[in-house]
Amino acid sequence: MQEKKPQHLTLNRFLVQRQLKHPEATGELTAVMDQIGKVGKIISNYMRRAALEGLTGLTGAVNVQGEKVKKLDEIGNSVFVEAFEYVDMVGAIVSEEMDRPLVISSANRKKKYVVLVDPIDGSSNLDVDCVVGSIFSIRNLKGSVEESILRKGTDQVAAGYLMYGTSTLLVYSAGDGVHIFVLDGQIGEFVLEHENIRMPERGKIVSSNFGNYRKWAQPAREFADSLASEREEYALRYSGALVADLHQILHLGGIYFYPEDAKRPEGKLRLLYECAPLAMIAEQAGGAATTGRARVMDIHPEKVHQRVPYAIGSRYEIRRYEEFYRK
């Protein structure tokens, strides 16, 4: 059951309301989330102008993941970095586009958070004007920057994504449900669309790159085969941007999976700034996320750019996926 949508509840008003419910809150998380909203507006603006202003295409550089960097990847990264350089309480930023965490030093000794981001998720969609997103995770700065980053997903303070599609959305959770905001271009604000959205317990969507089917690990192939033989039909949807596929599953239920395969035995997706933040969203909405063998939120990362096999979605489909890995 969705809660009734209030009128004109902007992101900032919503955050302040939530903050007032927690007397111990200091307003610092609200300030970080407010910057994420600003990032969303700026990147959304770039996306809308990209084709007109020659911002599509490659920069010529290759990132730490060995992927060719696109102009908009680089722009997205600078927009995030710039945003947190203005927020005193963020001590470091980790990004898909940066080899190492960027430590932000300032006179303020009360740095409280580290922010981890995938500035542009689904970048192969950029040059064809299809949907892309940004993913973020906010963690407490406890001990050194490295110690704060290499922690389980259950240690995230807040997480979420921005989606640049037919409209620009901001979806987040700070551990008390998942809330969706839509950017109202006329007033330049994110406005609440859904408070406490719940993912269906069982769904209709299957989202995966079936072009890799032959390379997939055996359990993933058997899972896919089992879906094809179901009496209940599933609909196949795969956009090339995890954020967009997950967003659909958030509404309709089902499963997205990117398993380990012959070429990538460790999987493709990055644990810290893709898989763990979206796992928090799924769990907070009543869904789940797994590697097939382990709950994603329980994985203790060993390195910043670690990859993991991944499946995320409704509880029923995730349970079934795990059954094939247990066999």
Please report, as ranges, the residues that interact with ligand F6P according to CB under 6 A: 121-122, 124, 209, 240-242, 269
Please, what is the minimum distance in Å from the beta carbon of residue 72 to ligand F6P? Answer: 13
Runs of H (alpha helix) within the chain: 11-21, 28-50, 71-85, 145-149, 218-228, 242-252, 276-284, 315-326
What is the rounded distance in angstroms from the CA atom of residue 173 to the CA atom of residue 184? 20
- 95-98: list long-range contacts, CB under 8 Å, 24+ apart: 95/119, 95/273, 96/63, 96/64, 96/65, 96/270, 96/273, 96/274, 96/305, 97/63, 97/64, 97/69, 97/73, 98/64
Nearer to ligand F6P, 121 or 189 (CB): 121
Phi/psi zone of residue 240: left (φ > 0), alpha (ψ -120 to 50 degrees), beta?
Answer: left
Please, what is the minimum distance in Å from the beta carbon of residue 111 to ligand F6P? Answer: 29
Please, what is the minimum distance in Å from the beta carbon of residue 104 to ligand F6P? Answer: 26
CB 151 within 8 A of CB 301: yes
Please, what is the minimum distance in Å from the beta carbon of residue 93 to ligand F6P? Answer: 19
Please, what is the minimum distance in Å from the beta carbon of residue 326 to ligand F6P? Answer: 25
Please, what is the minimum distance in Å from the beta carbon of residue 61 to ligand F6P? Answer: 17
Measured over the CA atoms of residue 236, residue 239, residue 245 and residue 249, the dihedral's sign is negative
Nearer to ligand F6P, 113 or 310 (CB): 310
Nearer to ligand F6P, 196 or 209 (CB): 209
Residues in Cβ contact with 95 at an 8 Å cutoff, skipping those fewer than 6 apart: 77, 80, 81, 102, 116, 117, 118, 119, 273
Nearer to ligand F6P, 14 or 258 (CB): 258
Say what angle helices 242-252 and 276-284 make with each other, to 10 degrees: 10
Nearer to ligand F6P, 15 or 269 (CB): 269
Please, what is the minimum distance in Å from the beta carbon of residue 316 to ligand F6P? Answer: 21
CB 300 within 8 A of CB 186: no
What is the rounded distance in angstroms from the CA atom of residue 312 to the CA atom of residue 185? 31
Nearer to ligand F6P, 253 or 267 (CB): 267
What is the rounded distance in angstroms from the CA atom of residue 117 to the CA atom of residue 137? 6
Nearer to ligand F6P, 165 or 240 (CB): 240
Please, what is the minimum distance in Å from the beta carbon of residue 234 to ligand F6P? Answer: 18
Nearer to ligand F6P, 189 or 274 (CB): 274
